[in-house]
Amino acid sequence: MCFRVKFYPHEPMKIKEELTRYLLYLQLKRDVYHGRLLCPFADAAYLGACIVQAELGDYDQDEHPPDYIQDFKLFPKQSLKLERKIIDIHKNELRGQCSAVAELHLLQRAHNLETYGVDPHPCKDFTGSTAFLGFTATGFVVFQGNKRIHLLKWADVNKLKFEGKTFYVIGIQKEVRHKISLCLQTQKYISYQRFSPNITLSYNISHFLCLYVLLLCECECLDF
C-alpha cells in the first residue's frame, strides 16, 4: 500500500503546508521514475538534479564519486549523457538549497509540463491510431507518443457518453458557442422587458445547441 495523489493541484506553489508539498513531491518523483511525467532532456535533467539535491544536499567532491548519480534510479531509461547533465546542474545551479527549496523548484518546473497530473489511458482515435487520453485540471488531453496533440477544456465539453467500448467526448465548437451566447442574451433581454425583473430565468445550453443544429439542418434543406 502506498500514498497516491489522485487530483493534482493546478498551482502547486500555492500549497501552504510543507507536508502537503512534500507528499506531492513524492508523487511527482514517482511519476518521473515510472515515465508518466514525460519531458524534454533539459527539463528531465533539472528534475533529476532537484531530486538529488533534496536527497543528498550540496555536492561534495570528497563524498560523491564521479558516478554517484548511478546510485539513483530516477528515470526508466537513464543514459550516461543525462546523468552527466544532472551532475552539472547539481554542482553549479542548486548549491545552497535545502531539501524543501529543491522540492519546491521541482514542483515549479513539473507543473508547467504538458504531462503534469496526467494519468494516461490507452485508446484509439477516430482514425484507429493509438493514442493516450488523460484528464487534467484544464480539461481532456490527447497524446500520441509523448506529444500532446489535442486539448479540450472543460468549458468546451458539452456531453460525455459511453457506448459499448467507445467513450465519446462531445465538445461545442466556438462558432456554435458564440451563437448560443447571442441566443441566450437575446432571450434574456426580451424576457426582461416582458416579465418582472424579480423572476429568475434558467437556461439549458444543450437545448439551445440542439435548437441551433435543427435550424442549420432546416436551412440546408431550403432551396434558395
Query: Is 65 found in the same domain as 16?
Result: yes
Establish if 23 belongs to a structural domain: yes
Establish if 115 belongs to a structural domain: no
- Answer whether residue 213 shows pLDDT above 60: no
* C-alpha to C-alpha distance for 91 and 53, rounded to whole angstroms: 9
CA 159 to chain centre: 20
- Write down which residue in 70, 88, 110 finishes a domain: 110
Per DSSP (E only), the strands in 154-212 are 157-163, 166-171
Residues ≥6 apart with Cβ < 8 Å to 107: 12, 13, 21, 24, 25, 28
Residue type, 131: A
Establish if 7 belongs to a structural domain: no
Query: Is 212 found in the same domain as 149?
Result: no
How many structural domains does the chain have? 3
Establish if 3 belongs to a structural domain: no
Establish if 6 belongs to a structural domain: no
Give buried/exposed letters for 105-143 (b at 16+ CB in 10 A, else e).
bbbebbbebbbbbbebeeeeeeeeeebbbbebeebbbbb
User: What CATH number is attached to the domain comprising 102?
Assistant: 1.20.80.10
The answer to whether the CB of 47 falls within 8 A of the CB of 102 is: no
Establish if 149 belongs to a structural domain: yes
Domain range for 137: 121-170
Which grid coordinates belong to 43? 527539463
- pLDDT tens across 123-179, in order? 877 788 888 888 887 888 888 877 788 888 888 888 888 888 777 777 776 554 555
Q: Tell whether pTM > 0.75.
A: no
Query: Is 181 found in the same domain as 164?
Result: no
Residues 207-224, mean pLDDT to the nearest whole number: 38
Query: Is 131 found in the same domain as 96?
Result: no
Query: Is 150 found in the same domain as 94?
Result: no
